[in-house]
Amino acid sequence: MHTTTPAPRPSLSPASASLHGHDTVTLAQAMGLLATVGDLAMGQPIDASARAARLAARIALAAGGDAAAAAHAHMVARLRWSGSTATATGFATLLGDDIDGRHAMLTRTLSAQQAARLDQVKHHLTPLAAIHCEVAGNIAAMLGLPAPVEHGLRHLFERDDGRGQPYGLEGGAVPAVVQHVALAGDIEILSRAHGFSAALAMVTRLGGIRYPAALVAQVTPHAQAWLDAPGTLDEPALLSDFLPLSVPLTLVADTVELKLPWLAGHSRRVALLAHGAAQGLGLPDADQRSLARAALLHGIGRAAVSNTVWERRSKPGSADWEAIRRAPYWTARIGNRIDGIEADAQLASQVHERLDGSGYFRSLDAATLGMPQRLLAAATVYVALRSPRPWRAAHEPASTLALLEAQVTGGRLDRTAVDAVLAAATASIAPPADQPLSAREVDVLQRLSLGESGKDAARAMRISTGAVRTHVESILGKLGCATRAAATLRALTLGLI
């Protein structure tokens, strides 16, 4: 039987210690955010994972599991798409659109052209499954979830017939929680796409292929009632007392930014800068807290927009801009679903508003934009200008100042906010004391995490591609990761990049 050995669990002490603890959320809030972001990334409704989780818990109980098994199934179902941001680029390449393509895969509505394309490149699916499972498993570990939940997420795409991914486990070697979640997910998704009767017929045909036929026979007589009336079996009742009360919100931000490697660490830097600027201006502690949290939340709506839009090298067209302008709308909508972060998400959704009313998505202006909104906008623009992008290098300090000044004189950004952000940008952040990577390894990982190829990194660092590969092997070993996406997430969590 092939199973993975979980890597050592990293410390959850965030590099953003200067946020004074303003970057923490409850475990339930973090799981809710990750579940909703995952649903959107997979082209599903924002409550799909919650519905599947309730059904998975009931399936676990019906299969003879105890309350712990039901809780584990519930949590695996909630987090099953948490690794999807890390594979968005890969699926956009394979299917032309990561969101629509994965929606078609899940609902079994692939067009003939998509199916033919997928058959041609199916050898690429196993590496993508490996990335997804490792990232999802690492997220469970970093959240402090029970080992069976982490184990289930690391084997999420295994099948009863042994033709699953990434390890090809078969029959009883497949974790029971994976089978329970797979069946619950299929029933939930297929009943929405094809109607309940058709969904039952489809999962019956998949019995003995994706999950045991006996499990399907046991569940199908009750599935309609369980799906429609899940009762009181919901998350708060399932979480055990030993789970952590709070976790870093930075983990959610880092996970979302795996969708676009060149954004790695962006929200962290915005949070530090906005919080520092708010401190410099003497804003109340409550505003400092909300700014830090809003900065870490402001990118979650990107999950609802296809990578084909974000990664287009040509100038965005009108349809692209329509999608881009909806990203902050999705940020607000996701936040409104999570108790306790609604106000922070609303502030986060105003990150692209401008004083002259030319921003999006609400076209707010100076009359309604307070200092927190102005600081968040200025910090985001500064970090974007000072960061490299696939289509340009990072702006030097002089050109950054000139571009910010143009935004101020043009009436888009606030003078006081920009000055406060510039003052905060001069503050240095000490590196972690227990740095496990060498300076050269940090440089390599930083470049690869931002989307550079090994060849590009070698050229920029004036070393051979073989040397880059050697550094990558060392980095993966030191961080206990098998894929670059997982290494990026772990390095961000440890404050290494």
Q: Are 264 and 257 in contact (CB under 8 A)?
A: yes
Cα torsion at 16, 153, 130, 126 (round to 10°)?
A: -150
pLDDT in tens, the chain (497 residues): 444 433 333 333 334 446 777 889 999 999 999 999 999 999 999 999 999 999 999 999 999 999 999 999 999 999 999 999 999 999 998 888 999 999 999 999 988 888 888 888 878 889 999 999 999 999 999 999 999 999 999 999 999 999 999 899 999 999 999 999 999 999 999 999 999 999 999 999 999 999 999 999 999 999 999 988 655 544 444 555 567 888 999 999 999 999 998 898 999 999 999 999 999 999 999 999 999 999 999 999 999 999 999 988 777 888 999 999 999 999 999 999 999 999 999 999 999 999 999 999 999 999 999 999 999 999 999 999 999 887 888 999 999 999 999 999 999 999 999 999 999 998 755 555 567 888 888 888 888 877 778 888 888 888 888 888 999 899 999 999 999 899 889 888 887 87
End-to-end alpha carbon distance in the chain: 36
Spatial separation of the C-alpha atoms in residues 198 and 77, rounded to whole Å? 22
Q: Are 408 and 430 in contact (CB under 8 A)?
A: no
Spatial separation of the C-alpha atoms in residues 221 and 205, rounded to whole Å? 15
Chain-centre distance for alpha carbon 377 = 22
Question: What contacts 198, CB < 8 A, 6 or more positions away?
Answer: 190
pLDDT score for 132: 97
Q: What sign results for the dihedral spanned by CA atoms 166, 171, 172, 177?
A: positive
Question: What contacts 314, CB < 8 A, 6 or more positions away?
Answer: none
Question: What contacts 117, CB < 8 A, 6 or more positions away?
Answer: 94, 95, 96
258 three-class SS: coil
Chain-centre distance for alpha carbon 111 = 27
**φ, ψ at 207 (rounded to 5°):** -60, 130
Spatial separation of the C-alpha atoms in residues 151 and 6, rounded to whole Å? 8
Spatial separation of the C-alpha atoms in residues 479 and 130, rounded to whole Å? 17
Spatial separation of the C-alpha atoms in residues 187 and 51, rounded to whole Å? 10
401 three-class SS: helix
Q: Are 413 and 355 in contact (CB under 8 A)?
A: yes
Alpha-carbon distances, residue 187 vs 72, 195, 223, 238, 495 (angstroms): 19, 10, 8, 21, 40
**What pTM, to 2 d.p., does this model score?**
0.89
Could you give the residue ranges of the DSSP H alpha helices within 14-124?
27-41, 48-62, 67-79, 88-95, 98-107, 112-120
In 3D, which of 303, 405, 276 has the Cα closest to residue 33?
Answer: 303
Q: Are 230 and 54 in contact (CB under 8 A)?
A: yes
DSSP designation for 155:
T
253 three-class SS: helix
In 3D, which of 493, 488, 402, 481 has the Cα closest to residue 5?
Answer: 481
Structure tokens at 7: 């890597």
Residue with tokens 């708010």: 278
Determine the residue type at 260.
L
Structure tokens at 157: 């795409």
Spatial separation of the C-alpha atoms in residues 251 and 76, rounded to whole Å? 17
pLDDT score for 2: 45
* β-sheet bridge partners, residue 211: 207
Spatial separation of the C-alpha atoms in residues 108 and 100, rounded to whole Å? 12
